[in-house]
C-alpha cells in the first residue's frame, strides 16, 4: 500500500473520529492494533489504543512505513465503537498538537516522556525496553530500563533513534511496571526477593 494512501486513510479517520485497525504484517492476522488516530504525519502515527473489549489501553506510536493495511468501518471496528460507547470511558489527548505538521512525532513523544518522567516501552527489531527516558538528542535516546521486577538496571540503555520501531505509553504493560517500580523498595517480605538482583 502506498504510504500516501495509508496516511490519507488515517487522516480521514482522525477527521471523522473513526476507529481504525492498523496491520503491520499481512501474513499475520494478529499483528494489528485498533484505536483512534490522535496524530499522524508522513513518518509516524500516534494511536489512542483500544483493547478488543473496547477499553482504553494507552497510546502507541508506529512508523507509517511499517503500516501495511488500514481498516475502518468493518464489523470489528463497528463492534469496538459500540463497546466504547457502552463503557463510556473518558478520552483525552496524550499530547498537544506539535508546532509543525512535519514535526518528528517520535522525538516529540520521547521528549514529553522525559519531561513528565513517564514510563514508556521502546520496541526495536530485536528487543523491547521499558523504563524512563533520561536523555534525548537528535540521534539517540537514553533511558533507565527496568528489570523483570520493575527495578532500575545498573547500566542505562542507549539506542539510536533510527532503531526505535514503536513507542507505547500508559498501556497495561507500562502501568504494571509503574506499580512494580513504585513498590520495589517495599517488597523485602516477598520470599527470594533479595536474591533477585538487577543485572
Higher-confidence position of 29 and 60: 60
Domains of the chain are 3-87 (2.30.30.100), 105-187 (2.30.30.100)
As a whole number, the mean pLDDT across the chain is 90
Cα separation, 29 vs 69, in Å, equals: 11
For position 165, what pLDDT does the model report? 95
Given this model, what pLDDT does residue 86 score? 96
pLDDT digits (tens, 9 = 90+) for 157-194: 999 999 999 999 999 999 999 999 998 866 554 555 55
pLDDT of residue 185: 66
Which cell numbers hold the place of 13? 479517520
Asked if residues 84 and 54 have their Cβ atoms less than 8 Å apart, the reply is yes
Q: Which residue has the cell 489504543?
A: 49
Q: Residues, the chain, total?
A: 199
Residue whose C-alpha cell reads 547500566 in the numeric block: 155
Give this prediction's pTM. Answer: 0.88
pLDDT on residue 194: 52
Q: In the predicted model, what is the mean pLDDT of residues 100-126?
A: 93
Q: Which of 16-20, 70-74, 93-97, 195-199 has the lowest mean pLDDT?
A: 195-199
d(CA 28, CA 75): 19
Cell numbers standing for residue 109 = 513523544
* 195 pLDDT higher than 80: no
Band of the pLDDT at 51, cuts 50, 70, 90?
A: very high
- Read off the pLDDT band of 49 (50, 70, 90): very high
* Cell numbers given for 178: 509503574
pLDDT digits (tens, 9 = 90+) for 6-29: 999 999 999 999 999 999 988 888
Amino acid at each position: 500500500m502506498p504510504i500516501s494512501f495509508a496516511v490519507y486513510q488515517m487522516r480521514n479517520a482522525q477527521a471523522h473520529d473513526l476507529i481504525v485497525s492498523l496491520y503491520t504484517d499481512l501474513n499475520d492476522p494478529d499483528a494489528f492494533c485498533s484505536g483512534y488516530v490522535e496524530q499522524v504525519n508522513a513518518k509516524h502515527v500516534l494511536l489512542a489504543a483500544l483493547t478488543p473489549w473496547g477499553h482504553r489501553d494507552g497510546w502507541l506510536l508506529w512508523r507509517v512505513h511499517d503500516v501495511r493495511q488500514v481498516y475502518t468501518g468493518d464489523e470489528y471496528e463497528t463492534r469496538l465503537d459500540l463497546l466504547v460507547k457502552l463503557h463510556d470511558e473518558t478520552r483525552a489527548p496524550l499530547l498537544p498538537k506539535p508546532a509543525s505538521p512535519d514535526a518528528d512525532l517520535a522525538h516529540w513523544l520521547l521528549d514529553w516522556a522525559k519531561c513528565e518522567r513517564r514510563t514508556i516501552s521502546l520496541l526495536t527489531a530485536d528487543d523491547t525496553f521499558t523504563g524512563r527516558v533520561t536523555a534525548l538528542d537528535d540521534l539517540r535516546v537514553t533511558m533507565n530500563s527496568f528489570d523483570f521486577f520493575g527495578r532500575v538496571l545498573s547500566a542505562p540503555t542507549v539506542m539510536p533513534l533510527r532503531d526505535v520501531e514503536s513507542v507505547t505509553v500508559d498501556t497495561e504493560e507500562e502501568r504494571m511496571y509503574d506499580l512494580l517500580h513504585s513498590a520495589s523498595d517495599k517488597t523485602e517480605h516477598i520470599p527470594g526477593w533479595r536474591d533477585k538482583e538487577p543485572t
